[in-house]
Structure 1
Amino acid sequence: MDTSTPIVAPAGAERTGAITIVSVPAGHPYVRQTTADPRVSVLPDPVAPGADPAVWWPPAALDPTWIRAHADAASLLHIHFGTESFPPGHLTACLEAAHAVGWPVVYTLHDLEHPQLTDDSGYLAQLDELVTGADAVTTLTVGAARAVRERWRRHATVIPHPSVLPRSAAIEPALGAGRVVGVHLKDLRPSVDGPGTVRALEAALTALRDAGHDVRGEVRLHRRVRDADAAAEVRALCAASAVLDLVEHERFADAELFAALARLDACVLPYRHGTHSGWLELCWDLGVPVAAPRIGFFAEQHADDTVASFAPGDAAELARALAGLWVAPSARPASAARDALVDERRALRAVTDAAIAERHAELYRHLLESRTA
C-alpha cells in the first residue's frame, strides 16, 4: 500500500527516552487520553494520497509493507479498532511483520461484537487473529477480560475507559419544568434497536406519568440513517405517542452534543447488542444518569447509583430503573447538586486519566524491556 510522505519519529524522541508507538488509530480521543503520559509519543495516522486527512480508516498503518518501511520510526504497535475492512489473514500478516521488525503488539479489545456490522462473523474471525497473535491484550472491564480468558485462554489486562468530556467544555443546560428522558438513536447503526427501544420507552414513560411523574421522552435521530425502515417506524411510533417528542437533526458538533445530553434527567442507551459504551462514559462525565440494557458489560463501567440496568425491551423494568435513578438529587440538570457532581467527577477523572495513561506507558515499557532481554 503506497501512502503519503514517510513518517519519522518525533525529533528528540530518543534523546528524551520517549516510547514511540504506532496506534491504530492515532487521531482518536480515546487514544489521545490513554497515551497522554509524557513517556509516550504516537505517530500520526498515515494518510493515503488524495484522501481526507480527517479520515483515518481503513488504517494505512495496518499493512505489512508500511510496517517494514517504518520500522525505525517506532518501537511498538497498538491496535484498537478500524480493522473490519481487511480480509482474513491480513491482520496476522501485519502482526508477523511487526514482530519481524522488532515491534511488540498490543491489542485492546473494545468490542466482542462489532457495533457497525450486520454480519460480524468476519470481525469475530479477526478477533481470533488479534487476541491470539498480540503480545499483550487489554480490555475495559473485568467481564470482558473473563470472556477473553474463556474463549481464547488469554489474560487480558483491565484498564478502564478514560474520560470523554474535555476539561475545557463549558456546560450550561436549561432546566425545564418536568423531567426529560432522552434516547439518541443517531444514524441507526446495526447495534441500535430504534423501534424496540422507542416502544419500551413509550410504555415506561406512560407508566411513570400514570404514577404521578411529570416526564416526557426526547427521541433524537439523524436525518441520514442506515436503516430507512426502522427510521420510518420510529417516526410513526413517536407521532402516535402522547409522551414522546421526536427531534431529527444533522450529526451534532461536540459542543451541541454535550449541551443536548446535559439537559437530560436520564439517558436510555438503545443498544440491541454491545460490549462497552463511550456514550455511557460521556453521560457519566456530564452527571447524567443512564439506563443501560443488560447486555455486554455496560453495568461494569461505573458501578454506582447513576447507572441502572434493564432487560432490553422490558418497559416495566425500564420504568423502575428510571424512577430509581431519580432518587439522587443530582439527577436534575442545572441544579446545584448536578453541578457539584460534575465538578467532583472532573476532579476524579483528572486523577484516573493520568493513572490510565501511566498504566499504558508501563505496559509498553515492560514489553520493550522483555523484547530486549
Structure 2
Amino acid sequence: MRYAHRHARLHEEEEKIVASTVPPVRIAAVPSAHPYVTAVADPASVRLLADPPPPGAPEGQWWPPQVLLPAWLRENADDFDLVHVHFGIESYSPAELAETVAALRALGRPLVYTVHDLENPQLLSQDAHRESLAVLAEAADELITLTGTAADEVQALTRRRPTVIPHPTLLDDAERPTGTSDGVTRVGVHLRDLRPNIDGVGTTATLVRAVADLRAQGARVEGVVRMNDRVRDAEAAASIDLLARDAEGVTVERGERLDDDALSRWLADLDACLLPYRHGTQSGWAELCYDLAVPVVGTRVGHIAAQHPDDFHRFDVGEPLSLARAIVDATDDAWSTPGSAARAAEVERRRVDRLAEREAVRAAHLALYRRAMAKEEAA
C-alpha cells in the first residue's frame, strides 16, 4: 500500500511537470473581463487576452466586442489560439458575424461558442438573435451549454449537440455570508435596472397579492422589491412603487447598483429569492443563490429550473396562489432560514463541493479547447 501511494504521488508529479511544459492556450474571449469567463479558465493552462477597448468607449467597457471584427482578428492572429464567444453578439448583425466566421476560417483559428442565451435578455425581439446564434452554432468547432435541457433545445434548433458543462461557482474560497433573521420569512426580488427580460410590474403585482394571502392565513412573511436608482424603464418603476405603496408587508428599496459582496449579503438575508424573468435561458443569479443556500422561486422560463432542480420552486406571473405555494415550499427546509446553524452548515457543504466542481469545469473547458485546436490542425 505504501508503494502504491508513493507511485500515485510520483504520477501526479509527472503530470504536473508535463503540464508545466505545455504552453497555455491563448483565448480571445468575448468578453474576457466577465466573472463567468474567468471562472471557467484554468489560470495554469489558459491565458485570457484582455478585452480590446472599443474606440471612444469608457474605461472598462468591452462592448461592442472588438474581437469579433475581422480586421482585429487579422491584426492579432499571432496572439491567440482560438476565439471563445460567450456574450455580446447583439452588437453585430448576423451578416457581420458571418464575416467574423469567414475571417477565422481563413486564419485557421478555431471558434468555440457557449450558448448561454437562446433568448437574449437584453432584447425584446429575438429574431436577429436567433439568426446570429445559427451563424455561430453552424460554424463553431465546439459548442457548449450549461444544462441538459438547454442542450436539447440547442440540438433541436441547430442539429448539433453541444457539450454540457455546468455553471461553476463565481465565489472564491473566502467565508460566505449566511444572513440574519428577525423571525419573519423574507422573500426578495431584485429587479436591477429593469432590462427588457425583467417583468418588474407583473412580478411585483403577483408578490403583493401572494404576501397578502399568506399574511391573511397568519404567516409572518414580508416581501422586498429592490431596484437600482438608474433604470431603463421609468414608467415601469413608477408602477412598481405604486403597487407596493399601500401593500402591507411589501416594501420597495431603491439604491446604487450593489457590488458583488453587497449583493451576496443582500441575498443571504433572504429566506427565498424570487426571479422576475419574462424570458431568458439560464441564470447566474440562480447559481449565486445556490452557493448561498437561498432557495429560488421562478417562472417556467428557459432552463433555469434545470440548473439546481431541488432548489427551484415554480410560480406563474399573475397567479398569486402559485407564488404563495412556491414560497411555502421553498421555505420548508431548515437551511432556508438565514442566520441559522443549518444555513451555515449547508453553505459550507456547498462551498467545498462547488470549488471541486469548478476544477472539473476548468478541466472540461481545457480538454474542449485542445480538441478544437486539434480539429483545426487536422483540417
TM interval, short-chain normalised: over 0.9
- Paired residue for 1:64? 70
Structure 2 CA distance for aligned equivalents of residues 29 and 240 of structure 1: 39
Question: How many Å apart are 1:15 and its aligned residue?
Answer: 5.7
- Paired residue for 1:225? 231
- Paired residue for 2:81? 75
Mapped pair 1:312 → 2:326: no
Query: 1:56-88 deviations in whole A, cap 9, x for unaligned?
Result: 111111111111111111111110111112133
SS at match of 1:61: helix
SS at match of 2:166: coil
Structure 1 CA distance for aligned equivalents of residues 177 and 332 of structure 2: 23
SS at match of 2:313: strand
Query: 1:311-345 deviations in whole A, cap 9, x for unaligned?
Result: 23321111111101121100100110001111011
Query: 1:36-67 deviations in whole A, cap 9, x for unaligned?
Result: 25221111111145533311111111111111
Query: 1:135-189 deviations in whole A, cap 9, x for unaligned?
Result: 1111111111111111111111111111123322542622213111001111111
- Paired residue for 1:134? 140
- Paired residue for 1:271? 277
Letter in 2 for 1:168: A
Question: How many Å apart are 1:217 and its aligned residue?
Answer: 0.4
SS at match of 2:47: strand
- Paired residue for 1:30? 36
Of 197, 204, 210, 1:204 maps to 210
- Paired residue for 1:46? 52
Letter in 1 for 2:354: R
Of 346, 349, 355, 1:350 maps to 355
Of 109, 128, 131, 1:122 maps to 128
- Paired residue for 1:164? 170
Q: Kindly, what percent of the aligned residue pairs are identical?
A: 43
Shifted more, 317-326 versus 307-316: the winner is: 307-316
Structure 1 CA distance for aligned equivalents of residues 367 and 196 of structure 2: 36
Structure 2 CA distance for aligned equivalents of residues 143 and 172 of structure 1: 31
Aligned residue pair count: 360
8 A contact 1:183–1:270 mirrored in 2: yes
Query: 1:205-226 deviations in whole A, cap 9, x for unaligned?
Result: 1222122210100010111111
SS at match of 2:230: coil
Structure 1 CA distance for aligned equivalents of residues 53 and 47 of structure 2: 18
Letter in 1 for 2:283: S
Of 153, 158, 177, 1:147 maps to 153
Letter in 2 for 1:28: H
What's the TM-score, normalizing by structure 2?
0.91
- Paired residue for 1:287? 293
Question: How many Å apart are 1:292 and its aligned residue?
Answer: 1.0
8 A contact 1:37–1:357 mirrored in 2: no
Higher helix proportion (structure 1 or 2): 2
Letter in 1 for 2:337: R
- Paired residue for 2:372? 367
Measured on the aligned residues, the alpha-carbon RMSD in Å equals 1.6
Structure 2 CA distance for aligned equivalents of residues 41 and 277 of structure 1: 26
Of 149, 173, 179, 2:185 maps to 179
Query: 1:85-143 deviations in whole A, cap 9, x for unaligned?
Result: 21331111111111211111011011111111123322222112111121111111111
Query: 1:184-208 deviations in whole A, cap 9, x for unaligned?
Result: 1111111011111011111111222
Structure 2 CA distance for aligned equivalents of residues 363 and 174 of structure 1: 42
Shifted more, 155-164 versus 32-41: the winner is: 32-41
8 A contact 1:80–1:109 mirrored in 2: yes
- Paired residue for 1:257? 263
8 A contact 2:185–2:221 mirrored in 1: yes
Letter in 2 for 1:240: D
- Paired residue for 2:107? 101
Q: Which runs of 5+ in 2 are unaligned?
A: 1-18
8 A contact 1:37–1:354 mirrored in 2: no
8 A contact 2:178–2:343 mirrored in 1: no
SS at match of 1:130: helix
Letter in 1 for 2:371: H
SS at match of 2:155: helix
- Paired residue for 2:61? 55
Mapped pair 1:20 → 2:30: no
- Paired residue for 1:338? 343
